[in-house]
Amino acid sequence: MGCHEGRPYMEGRRMGSANHSTKQSPNGDQSVAGTDFRERPGATDADAERETVIQFDDAHEHAVFYTHHRRCQRHLRRLGLGPVVDNKRGGLTFHVPQQWLRLPRPQRVASPAQRKALKEAAEARQQSRARS
């Protein structure tokens, strides 16, 4: 087991951290700082504690990437990055160039007129290729 063998370390605790205010919705999901988190079916308390933290600011050229996720660790190593700190409990810290970080953008929603124009342009391209 682990260092908490025989003790109810995570008993009753799901998704969230002592550093964040959490609230529970009527359907049992928890929200952290206004963001809804839904647990993956079959997730365990250990899964909830296996976290990744990314810290960056304007004063440094790199971001600090701390993760317990083996998939993230493997991906960062394949990118040629080595861990700068190993906490000997499964967590590794990497320095990642900030220009590698991209925040997701909202999905663009096309109007019916835009969809029609895109469809017509695609059909025209297809016809011109068929003629060639």
Question: Hey, where are the domains in the chain?
Answer: 1-37, 50-102
Quote the Cα angle for 34-36-39, to 5°.
145
pLDDT computed for residue 99 by the predictor = 92
pLDDT digits (tens, 9 = 90+) for 72-101: 999 999 999 999 999 998 999 999 999 999
Using CB atoms within 10 Å of the CB of residue 68, give its burial: 0 to 12 exposed, 13 to 18 middle, 19+ buried. middle
pLDDT computed for residue 2 by the predictor = 39
pLDDT computed for residue 15 by the predictor = 38
Write out the two tokens for 26.
């009527």
pLDDT computed for residue 18 by the predictor = 42
Which residue bears the tokens 């919705």? 25
Best CA proximity match to 69, nearest among 42, 40, 84, 91: 91
pLDDT computed for residue 19 by the predictor = 43
Which residues are within 8 A (CB) of 23 and not within 5 positions of it... i.e. 6 or more apart? 30, 31
pLDDT computed for residue 40 by the predictor = 73
**Whole-number Å distance between alpha carbons of 53 and 55:** 7
Flag residues of the chain having pLDDT under 70. 1-38, 132
84 Cα distance to chain centroid:
21
Asked whether the whole model's pTM tops 0.75, one would answer: no
DSSP states of 22-40 as a string? EEE-TTS-EEETTEEE-PP
